[in-house]
Structure 1
Amino acid sequence: MVSDFFFPQSGGIESHIYQLSSKLIDRGHKVIIITHAYKGRTGVRYLTNGLKIYHVPFFVIYRETTFPTVFSFFPIFRNIVIREQIEIVHGHASLSSFCGEAILHARTMGLRTVFTDHSLFGFADAASILTNKLLKFTLSDVDHAICVSHTCKENTVLRASLDPLMVSVIPNAVVAENFRPLSYNSRGLDQVPTSPAEQRPPPTSIGPDDTITIVVISRLFYNKGTDLLVAAIPRILALNPNTRFIIAGSGPKAIDLEQMLERNVLQDKVEMLGSVRHEEVRDVMVRGHIYLHPSLTEAFGTVIVEAASCGLYVVCTRVGGIPEVLPQHMTTFAKPEEDDLVVATNKAIAALRSNKVRTDRFHDQVKMMYSWRDVAERTERVYQGITGDISPEEFYGYYPGQGWEASGDRVRSFALIDRLKRYYGCGVWAGKLFCLCVVIDFLIYVFLEMWFPRANIDIARSWPKKPPAGKTRASTAARNSR
């Protein structure tokens, strides 16, 4: 797994990589993660379940993204891949420099590659145009792509000019046990509290004078709808006096929220917690009744699944892949506009006060809908498809009357001439530049193979694994018989 975004930074991509890697290890695979060095974290680290992390020291330019150098990452990447005997390189996130460079280098080394897209991008502004062109460069030679929603798939197919059959949709998931409502255990609600945050039982009903708490947990950036939040909060509080907000998160828009609170004298109605760690998110969520998610663009929105799992009623904008995430009875949708967001929040407050919503059932329903084990199984099938463990007809699908040979290019060749043909079609000037990059990358690889041969690289020992339970019992029985 390769990405610029990983722990200790918190976020949906970081959690996705960690949970997917852990479940793949449980299924018998060896998984390592390559990311850049964070403050206080360099070199090699180990996490739970023997998950090894390589924190590579590279210069970070913006929002934990490393400076793109194209070629300087290759020697370190090659050394890690050979040391760990890697067969598949799986990159995450369009804006990750490490991801794009690792996929290029992996293909040069003859490794199979997979890319997972977690974001949506437009087609009009300069930043999106540049990002889309770089994504086209990254995915021109990738074996398969994964998107977290069908909306994300449509966006990625258009941005990178991909064959839709080469893109699978595998959603995010949550660890439902880590996002329980107040006083919830396997037997249901109203059990013995297990933490200080659970000292009060959840109210069975909300009266007209009871205080309703609205929770917002998000990075405070423009694309997360912070400007909408700044405009909507005073109006929501004016229409609903018995309402308060809890806002957790950090970012450049935090100053706008603080100025709004001072301007409207709402410090006693809005509590700002700043940045919170992922393991603290549940303790913040269970303090509320409604989760407000005013994002302007979102490929999936894992946080709204976490909120629903905690028993919160969700108010969110109808953008991107969000409408695909939760069933209608758990959410109230709004247009990404100030007026509509205020109306939707008022409707949610009224629904809770009239006890029309059974939020106590949300946790068990979310637990049935989303599972990281299911995500790992579906991702494993993608790996089997690109490595030939299952036939191309079974993996990509065969339609009667359509010859398979017409789609033979879906099985990517490692031959340099075939790779250059794929890159050359990326644009009049960009295609030639991309081909030049591929040729230079190949020459660097030849140089590294000659001057730093593989025989001089020590093979790392794999983390010891417990044998399956069946084998353990069999070996114990055999030992006892002897």
Structure 2
Amino acid sequence: MKIAQICPRYFPDIGGVETHVKEISERLAKAGHDVEVITTDPTGKLNKRDTINGVKIIRFRSFAPGNAYYFAPQIYFYLKKHNYDVIHAHSYHALPALFAALGKRKRRFVFTPHYHRSGHTAFRNLLHKPYRFLGNIIFSRADTIICVSEYEKKLVESDFRVQGKTVKIPNGINFKEFEHLKRHQKKDEEKILLYVGRLEEYKGVQYIIQSLPELRDFRLRVVGKGPYEEELHEMAKDLGVSERVEWLKNLSRRELLECYASSDVFLMLSSHEAYGITVAEALAAGTPCVVAKGSALEEFVDGKNCVGIENPVTVKKVIKVIETLQKLEINEGEWNSGRLKGIVDWNDISVRIEKLYKDIEIIIQNK
């Protein structure tokens, strides 16, 4: 099959959608399919055409105010000129999926919305209601809608007319990366808190920084970059905890895995998540997790390996749950599949998506 994957951003950019598209695209290419990722580059600094691990990448310059929307109508015109068996668009919260839907024609069209229901800032949330009209176009043209969690599936089915179209196929992890990853035994008394992800206000990193004055035995590692970074730096400085915060970015995959394995607690206090790949990876590394309830992150909560904080998240709640988590008896030995209930390998995910592509063709032929 010739497959087009449409997404707002792609590697070397990082994030949940970027990881999802990269993992399935490379596996589909390895399985013998002709895979093109059609994406955008607001900076204009990346190669317009590239090939990484067998996947062809086409990047169009986009207009992305506040790192949002990624307006690139060139995607529509490109799809009109080229033939594909399947067009698979990703992310409801950016415009490339709309241009993919408009360029569908008679081809199979799959949509993975990574849907959060609301915007991530007050302004973007204000625009979310009128944007619903455009969102309806994408959902109406999709032959199948893949949701990455039960939480997301319920939101989509509640907000749009998608009866009979939705299917749950979660994000995954690469089990082989974690099978021989060992937890680091630290000799000193200082413990490490870890956050991995984009630095945006809705991700809740500020609550971790604000808790540090009371958590004197802990340091914080922040892995990622984003528009909220400068404000977080200023916050740490004002609270007098700058020396206890380590800012990391552009890590290799091996370095990131080492961060997971050497941390005592992983935190993801985001208010909007359709899944939570970094939480799954932290659990696979044997690191206890703390997440905010009220999104798909809640599906990881088991009260032991992963503990949830009720919304609204506050500094007092963060401090209390970290102190409670440290008192629990958690097996911090080698990789343990028992803590990975419901977490699936990317190899299995790509096989399920490949089968879905083929099944859509059969359904269309029988209409």
Look up the equivalent residue of 2:344 and give its one-letter code: Y
User: What is the aligned partner in structure 1 of residue 359 from structure 2?
Assistant: 385
Say which SS state the counterpart of residue 140 (structure 1) adopts: helix
Shift of 1:275: 5.5
Match of 2:6 among 2, 5, 8: 2
Structure with higher Rg: it is: 1
Contact persistence 2:270–2:292 (CA under 8 A):
yes
User: What is the aligned partner in structure 1 of residue 80 from structure 2?
Assistant: 78
Shift of 1:389: 6.7
Unaligned runs of 5+ in 2: none
User: What is the aligned partner in structure 1 of residue 133 from structure 2?
Assistant: 133
Distance 1:380 1:347, change over 3 A: same
Match of 2:61 among 57, 61, 67: 57
User: What is the aligned partner in structure 1 of residue 171 from structure 2?
Assistant: 172
Shift of 1:361: 4.8
User: What is the aligned partner in structure 2 of residue 345 from structure 1?
Assistant: 322
| Count of paired positions | 355
Measure the CA separation in 2 of the matches of 1:22 and 1:110: 25
Look up the equivalent residue of 1:78 and give its one-letter code: K
CA displacement 1:159-184 (0-9 Å, x = unmatched): 22211x2100110001133346xxx3
Unaligned runs of 5+ in 1: 190-200, 393-410, 412-482
Higher strand share: 2
Contact persistence 1:290–1:315 (CA under 8 A):
yes
Contact persistence 1:335–1:341 (CA under 8 A):
no
Measure the CA separation in 2 of the matches of 1:326 and 1:2: 32
Shift of 1:328: 4.4
1:111 matched to 2:90: no
1:215 matched to 2:194: yes
Contact persistence 1:176–1:363 (CA under 8 A):
no
CA displacement 1:89-135 (0-9 Å, x = unmatched): 000001231221112211xx311100002131139952321333221
Distance 1:67 1:281, change over 3 A: same
Measure the CA separation in 2 of the matches of 1:321 and 1:138: 22
Distance 1:390 1:375, change over 3 A: farther
Measure the CA separation in 2 of the matches of 1:42 and 1:260: 36
Contact persistence 1:330–1:362 (CA under 8 A):
no
Contact persistence 1:132–1:160 (CA under 8 A):
no
User: What is the aligned partner in structure 2 of residue 232 from structure 1?
Assistant: 211
Shift of 1:318: 1.4
Look up the equivalent residue of 2:318 and give its one-letter code: L
Higher helix share: 1
Percent identity reads 21
Compute the TM-score of the two structures, normalised by the length of structure 2.
0.87
Say which SS state the counterpart of residue 112 (structure 2) adopts: strand
Match of 1:309 among 275, 284, 293: 284
Distance 1:326 1:23, change over 3 A: farther
Compute the TM-score of the two structures, normalised by the length of structure 1.
0.67
Contact persistence 1:93–1:99 (CA under 8 A):
yes
Measure the CA separation in 2 of the matches of 1:361 and 1:178: 12
Say which SS state the counterpart of residue 333 (structure 2) adopts: helix
Contact persistence 2:63–2:71 (CA under 8 A):
yes
Contact persistence 2:225–2:249 (CA under 8 A):
yes
Distance 1:361 1:99, change over 3 A: same
User: What is the aligned partner in structure 1 of residue 142 from structure 2?
Assistant: 142
Per mean C-alpha deviation after superposition, the further-off stretch among 30-39 and 331-340 is: 30-39
CA displacement 1:254-284 (0-9 Å, x = unmatched): 2333233222322332222356455542232
1:141-290 pair list within 5 angstroms: 141-163=141-163, 165-179=164-178, 184=180, 189=182, 202-203=184-185, 210-235=189-214, 237=215, 241-274=216-249, 276=251, 280-290=255-265
Say which SS state the counterpart of residue 296 (structure 1) adopts: coil
1:121 matched to 2:117: yes
